[in-house]
């Protein structure tokens, strides 16, 4: 695990000392948008027109942020229009790699061994973390965007005139409600499990773990009378919550010590997670081997011997 400083790789864990034991996530730096006509999106520059075969995604099956993007690619039927690479589940002293492992798909752009080479290829002076997902423009040979929340939002409509599957997961009339739900789910659950697991002070951990479970309790009540988070319709808000929930009992409960309750103890949330898992194409985006290998083997400050647990055995059937 490390980061780039002026284009040079440094093997370095997150600094939680300067933040009093808190994990603070860095802002993503590439924020351009693919649009139907190449006009600029809400942030960044224009010039990224939706075209089949032009864009490539770098994904980790282990990563909940990258998996949102993989889900959206599947839901919109973009598999033939946007190609993918899959990184190795272990993120060690060189960060993400393309080394051999079942499920890995190599880099077609520069045949990179390491994900950081993709970042330095587009900016030889790049400083920052080398994260996935990355949306890459094969035509301009540059990174379009490395922020999953932007990428899923642009993919929901940008390729609609080129034969993408129907379905708008951020419909105009629900936007403010979806935004509100995202503003609740992101800090408390999506990033909440990370703030809990990466905390290096007892008091910080205890505060964060309660935030996670207070939020899950609220959503459990909400789902008593609703099938989905917003307007009883499957939207972006559900995609964003699902990729955290599907990892919950496998890694966050044990590895990140989010262990007040298991997800299977929440009848409504567990049923909701399994329902989304069975939407056609979605279970193929969930790779539990990569998920468990990544967290337990990569985070040596949390699990120094890298022992990967064999359980729990979860029954995802409906």
Active site residues: 63, 194
Order of strands across the sheet that contains 134-137? 82-86, 55-59, 134-137, 142-145
Binding flag, residue 246, ligand GSH (CB under 6 A): no
Binding flag, residue 204, ligand GSH (CB under 6 A): no
Asked whether the beta carbons of 24 and 135 are under 8 A apart, the reply is no
Asked whether the beta carbons of 290 and 229 are under 8 A apart, the reply is no
Question: Which candidate, 23, 5, 258, places its Cα nearest to that of 127?
Answer: 5
Residue number, 74 or 149, with CB nearest to ligand GSH:
149
Binding flag, residue 295, ligand GSH (CB under 6 A): no
Binding flag, residue 208, ligand GSH (CB under 6 A): no
**181: its two tokens:** 């739900």
Residue number, 65 or 253, with CB nearest to ligand GSH:
65
Which member of 4, 9, 28, 98 binds ligand GSH (CB under 6 A)?
A: 28
Cis status of the peptide bond prior to 219, with omega within 30 of 0: no
- Considering the complex, what minimum distance in angstroms separates the CB of residue 187 from ligand GSH? 13
Residue number, 132 or 209, with CB nearest to ligand GSH:
132
- How many CB atoms sit inside 10 A of residue 210's CB? 13
Which member of 65, 213, 234, 272 binds ligand GSH (CB under 6 A)?
A: 65
Residue number, 266 or 294, with CB nearest to ligand GSH:
294
CA distance 212 to 207: 9
Binding flag, residue 1, ligand GSH (CB under 6 A): yes
CA distance 73 to 83: 10
Chain positions contacting ligand GSH, by CB under 6 A: 1, 28, 60, 63, 65, 129-133, 147-149
| Annotation: binding site for glutathione | 96, 129-132, 147-148
């Amino acid at each position: 695990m490390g980061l780039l400083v002026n284009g040079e790789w440094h093997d370095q864990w997150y600094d939680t000392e300067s933040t009093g034991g808190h994990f603070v996530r860095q802002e993503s730096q590439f924020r351009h948008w693919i649009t139907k006509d190449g006009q600029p999106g809400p942030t960044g520059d224009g010039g990224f027109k939706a075209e089949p075969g032009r864009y490539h995604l770098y994904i980790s099956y282990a990563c909940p942020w990258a998996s949102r993007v993989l889900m959206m690619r599947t839901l919109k039927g973009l598999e033939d229009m946007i190609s993918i690479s899959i990184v190795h589940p272990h993120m060690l002293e060189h960060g993400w790699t393309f080394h051999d492992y079942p499920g890995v798909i190599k880099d077609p752009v520069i045949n990179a061994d390491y994900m950081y080479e993709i970042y330095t290829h587009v900016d030889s002076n790049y400083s920052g973390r080398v994260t996935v997902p990355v949306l890459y423009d094969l035509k301009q040979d540059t990174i379009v965007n490395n922020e999953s929340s932007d990428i899923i939002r642009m993919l929901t409509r940008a390729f609609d005139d080129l034969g993408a599957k129907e379905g708008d997961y951020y419909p105009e009339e629900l936007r403010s409600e979806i935004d509100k739900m995202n503003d609740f789910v992101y800090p408390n659950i999506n990033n909440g499990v990370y703030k809990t697991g990466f905390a290096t002070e007892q008091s910080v951990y205890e505060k964060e773990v309660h935030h996670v479970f207070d939020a899950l309790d609220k959503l459990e009540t909400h789902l008593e009378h609703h099938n989905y988070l917003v307007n009883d319709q499957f939207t972006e808000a559900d995609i964003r919550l699902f990729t955290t929930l599907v990892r919950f009992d496998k890694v966050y409960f044990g590895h990140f010590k989010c262990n007040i309750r298991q997800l299977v103890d929440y009848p409504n949330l567990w049923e909701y997670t399994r329902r989304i898992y069975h939407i056609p194409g979605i279970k193929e985006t969930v790779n539990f081997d990569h998920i468990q290998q990544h967290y337990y083997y990569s985070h040596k400050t949390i699990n120094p011997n890298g022992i990967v647990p064999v359980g729990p055995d979860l029954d995802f059937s409906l």
